[in-house]
Amino acid sequence: MLLVGLLSILLTSPISAQSPITARVDRNTLTIDEQVVLTVTVTGDFLKIPQPDLANLGEFIVVSSSTSTQVSIVNGQMTSQGVYLYRLQPLHEGAVEIGSIGVNIDGQLYQTDPIQLEVFAGGTPIQPPSQTNPDTDAPTLSPGEEFFVKAQVDNPNPFLGQQIIYTFQIYQASGFAFGQPDYTPPPFTDFWSQEIIAPLHHPEEINGITYMVTEIMTALFPANLGTITIEPASLVIPGSLLSPDIRLETEPVTVEVKSLPEQGKPEDFSGAVGQYSINANLSDSEVVINHPLTLRVTIEGTGNIQTLAEPVLPEMDKWRMFESKSFTDIDASNGRMTGTRTFERLVVPGQAGELTFEPISFSYYDPDAQAYNTISTEPIPVTVLPDDSQPALPTVVDFNDEEQTVNLLASDIRHIKPVPTSLNVGTALSVAGQVVYWMAWIVPLFLVAGVQIWQHRQQRLQKDPAFARDQRAKRQALTILDEAKTAGSKEQAAAAGRALLGYLSDKLNKPTAGLTTGGLIRLLRESRLQTRHIERIEALLHQIDIGRFAPISAGDAESIIVETRRLIDDLEKSFSRQRKR
Amino acid sequence: MMGLLVTVSAVSAQAVSPTEAMTAGNQSYEAGNYAQAVEIYETMVAAGIQDSTLYYNLGNAYFKQGQLGKAILNYRRAYRLDPRDVDNNVNLALARSQALDKLDTANDGAVTNFVKAAEDWLTLDEASMLALGLWLLLCGLAIVAILLPRFRQVSLWAMAVVGLFLIVGLISIANRLYNDYAYPPAVVVAEQVSVMSGPGGADQYVVEFDLHTGAEVTQLESHDNWRRVSLPGHDFQGWVSADALELVNLN
């Protein structure tokens, strides 16, 4: 029941434009033993729904509470609603008040009005003021006459789907009080049922005895044809220490359900029985093409409101329809189930101009008039404007040379493309996923680094003579040796001497002129050249001197050239290692 | 040339080339048989053909069938392959205008907008090649600055400009690669789907809001048959059934 109530609240509570918070109770009179359900609804467009403040609750305690929230976005518009249910227990009898309930939204305080309630003594039924005093007027009752129950329907011969009211009556003799009874309704198989929540109370006199009659009514809508028996309903009155519980049962109630006539049944009849009216409206009378409007179709009347099917919309090729949602608002206060069922649907015009939303029909069977009835809405005119965000419309020149704007009658997608000459087959790896691509990023980096190093070297060669001599020493020495290949033995020995001395003077950055063998050896030692190399230099210079000044064979001259070349190679490595150290 | 098994009529199935299959699809479309056109185009997609024209035509066929979500999905796939196709952009805009959920994107800063503009104009491959070109240009300018002292000043200024574009381009590429991997875009293809507060049905979680066909979302994570999505430009996020949406990226 709580769930049904909650759903009903969620479906039917409209968004209040005045106050974002509302509060209501399920009853205004109760006994001290009973509880009242307080429903607080907070509505707005916030993401986090604020909590209501119950600081001014008054003489009640909160027995239990539950919360339900709902956020929806339609057409970019967000709506959120929080429904807070509190089960309250009164703390004392008499007139009590539930104080204002507040909620703080964006720093502003919104409050509900206080709610007045009447709390009676425990075990005392709600009685009208004319209740007879049990101490003075209590008549003598036979056993079973203090309490009894009855059940009846207001129409035992309804049509299929026609509303009938099943009434369960509790008769309680004046002066005989009992605690909270437990009512068990019949199963109501073969019916669609809806309990009419608020119980009714009225006095009734039977055989001189005044009874307080409590009526619990249920709206029934037959779902099957033929004879249907409603099983007995029961009521258990709790006993006390000295008396057991009292169980009361009604007699079964029989209903004979008639079928609806076939004659005159409209094609769009969907099973609605009762009395209804229909109206429809659009959220705006003017809209830009391809922008949505909300179509709201409302059916109001008496009957099984909750099961009403949506009317079939007329086919209109200038409109696109989207799925609908429905809301139901039921009122059973007058002892019958009445209300409204609203169907909302987004509709999008696909053509600019003055359009008309055609009438919507709805058929139902009226059991009072015993005839089918088809009702329709009025046509709804709509002005559909062209979309200004579209590209500027072309202009044409008429015979009078007056410019006219071409009116866009409808917008559609552009046509399909012809088959291309080649289709991309397969899922090719993107270039960013290929090794070659990233190699192409790295190679230029090395190129720039190489150019930078080369440029630096060139600059040093220009600015640093010692470095320049060091770098060219070997090359010049080898050139001298190469040039001496075809020369005579003495010339080869002399060339070897020039090459070696030139090489060493370049490496040591010393002038060749005036450099004696002894001076050279001293400089080499100072340069920390390895001793074995120095010894080889000394020996080779000695050989060269012999070759220059004494007869020498071609083979010896050749060996001097070869040894000079080897020694320069070895010295180059040694100097290189020395430089690195 | 690969072969496709395309059911062109109810009675015959034959292996045809991709171009023949697409010709058959276009003929079905021209004849107003959009369902058959969709079937043929989808067969081609399933065979691994990734072509902007194919996705464009498929989007059109879905649009004509009233399947807005599928239409937007395929227009977006075509857009990824050819973002400068005016026809596709016009159809995508028209399809988006008919979607029920208007999800506006937030107005970002200038750099972000520049990155987005680059993404709207170039495919990922084109952006990658452009970035490589800028890198080669930057290296060339560096060599000029090293070798030709006369042009060093000019080269350094040019390097600064090229380097700035290169950095923005690389950020854009990295952003696209990361988003494609971590937060792939998706489109709601179901008529209506409830976005739940957790990966489960209404018996476990609360329906936070509803989305309709064609709504474009970002997929954040997966959990069994549920996908966590967020809405562009909004703080809203939640879980939807996996069969209610499809990813734009097929890779």
Backbone angles phi, psi at B129, to 5 degrees: -70, -35
Q: What percent of chain B has pLDDT over 70?
A: 88
- Give the confidence band of A104 by pLDDT, cuts at 50, 70, 90: confident
Q: Give the nearest chain A residue to B105 (CA atoms).
A: A76
Over the stretch B5-14, which tens digit does the pLDDT of each residue have? Answer: 554 443 344 5
Q: Answer yes or no: are the C-beta atoms of A20 and A43 closer than 8 Å.
A: yes
Same domain (yes/no): A81, A153: no
Nearest CA of chain B to the CA of A411: how many Å? 8
Query: Measured between beta carbons, which residues in chain A are less than 8 angstroms from residue B51?
Result: 420, 423-424
A423–B250 CB contact, under 8 Å = no
Considering only CB atoms, A431 lies closest to which of B61, B128, B251, namely B128
Query: Is residue B159 one of the residues assigned to a domain?
Result: yes
Looking up residue A39, the CATH number of its domain turns out to be 2.60.40.740
Q: What is the pLDDT of residue A278?
A: 94
Contact A75 B100 (CB under 8 A): yes
CA atoms of A424 and A411, how far apart (whole Å): 31
Burial A81-113 (b: 16+ CB within 10 A, else e): bbbbbbbbbbeeeeebebbbbbbeeeeeebbbe
Q: Which residues of chain B neighbour A432 with C-beta distances below 8 Å?
A: 124-125, 128, 173, 177
Instruction: Tell me how far apart the alpha carbons of residues A310 and A278 are, in angstroms, rounded to a whole number.
Output: 11
The C-alpha angle with vertex A409 and arms to A403 and A411, in degrees rounded to 5, equals 120
Using a 10 angstrom Cβ sphere, with 0-12 exposed, 13-18 middle and 19 or more buried, the burial of residue B225 is exposed
* A389 backbone dihedrals φ, ψ, rounded to 5°: -75, -10
Which of A385, A417, A443 is the last residue in one of the domains? A385
pLDDT, tens only, A242-254: 677 788 889 999 9
- Buried-state track A551-579, b at ≥16 Cβ within 10 A, e below 16: ebeeebbeebbebbbebbeebeeebeeee
Interchain contact, B101 vs A348, CB within 8 Å: no
In DSSP terms, A69 is beta-bridged to: A82
8 Å CB contact between A524 and A536: no
Confirm whether B118 is domain-assigned.
yes
**How much of chain A is in helix, strand and coil states, percent to nearest 5?**
25, 35, 40
pLDDT digits (tens, 9 = 90+) for B34-79: 999 999 999 999 988 989 999 999 999 999 999 999 999 999 999 9
Domain boundary among B77, B98, B119: B98
Task: Copy the structure tokens of residue B109.
Answer: 């800063």
Domain range enclosing A82: 2-120
Mean pLDDT, range A258-287, rounded to an integer = 90
Nearest to A423 among B54, B104, B209 (CB): B54
Question: Mutation test of the interface with chain A: which of B40, B56, B123, B132, choosing the one with the most A Cβ atoms within 10 A?
Answer: B132
The answer to the question of residue A136 being in a domain is no
Q: Which residues contact A343 (CB under 8 A, 6 or more apart)?
A: A296, A297, A298, A310, A311, A324, A325, A326
Residues of B in contact with A290 (CB under 8 A): 94, 97-98
Q: State whether A234 and A185 are in the same domain.
A: yes
A324 and A245 within one domain: no
- Give CA–CA dist A548/A183, Å, rounded: 141
Are residue A7 and residue A110 in the same domain, yes or no?
yes
Q: Does B195 map to a domain?
A: yes
Q: Are A253 and A279 found together in one domain?
A: no
Give one word for B214, left, alpha or beta, with left for phi > 0 and alpha for psi -120 to 50.
left
Instruction: Report whether A473 contacts A510 (CB < 8 A).
Output: no
Query: Range of B192's domain?
Result: 185-247
Nearest to B114 by CA among B77, B165, B63, B153: B165
Nearest to A380 by CA among A353, A349, A356, A351: A356
Q: Are residues B158 and B175 in the same domain?
A: yes
Does some domain include residue B21?
A: yes
Does B60 touch chain A if contact means CB atoms closer than 8 Å?
A: yes
Q: Does residue B105 lie in a domain region?
A: no
The count of structural domains within chain B is 3
Option in A76, A423, A455 nearest B146 (CB): A455
Domain membership of residue A132 (yes or no) is no
Per the prediction, chain A carries an average pLDDT of 80
Contacts of B2 in chain A (CB under 8 A): 425
Inside any domain, residue A409: no
Per-residue pLDDT at A14: 37
Answer yes or no: do A414 and B207 touch at CB < 8 A.
no
Task: Say whether A444 and B98 touch across the interface (CB within 8 A).
Answer: no
Q: Is residue A190 part of a domain?
A: yes
Inside any domain, residue B104 = no
Asked if residue B24 and residue B92 are part of one domain, the reply reads yes
Residue A362's pLDDT band, with cuts at 50, 70 and 90, is very high
Q: In the structure encoding, which two tokens stand for residue A72, read together? A: 């929806």
The answer to whether the Cβ–Cβ distance between B98 and A290 falls below 8 Å is yes
Question: Which of B45, B70, B98 is the last residue before a domain boundary?
Answer: B98
Q: The complex's ipTM?
A: 0.80
Q: Tell whether A390 is covered by a domain.
A: no
- B31 interface with A at CB cutoff 8 Å: no
Final residue of a structural domain among B126, B157, B182: B182
pLDDT of the residue at B186: 95
B193 and B220 co-located in one domain: yes
Interchain CB distance below 8 Å, A74 and B207: no
CATH code for the domain of B210: 2.30.30.40
Asked if pLDDT for residue A206 goes beyond 80, the answer is yes
User: Is A326:A298 a contact under the CB 8 Å cutoff?
Assistant: no
Do B11 and B86 belong to one domain? yes
Query: What pLDDT, on a 0 to 100 scale, did the predictor assign at position A408?
Result: 62
Whether residue A377 is found in the same domain as residue A485: no
Q: Is the domain of A152 the same as that of A107?
A: no
Q: Three-state SS for A159?
A: strand
**Checking phi first, is residue A398 left (phi over 0); if not, alpha (psi -120 to 50) or beta?**
beta
Phi-psi bin for A364: left (phi > 0), alpha (psi -120 to 50), beta?
beta
Calculate mean pLDDT across residues B123-152.
92
Smallest CA-to-CA distance from B163 within B145, B137, B129 is with B137
User: Is B74 an 8 Å CB contact of chain A?
Assistant: no
Question: Is residue A397 in a domain?
Answer: no
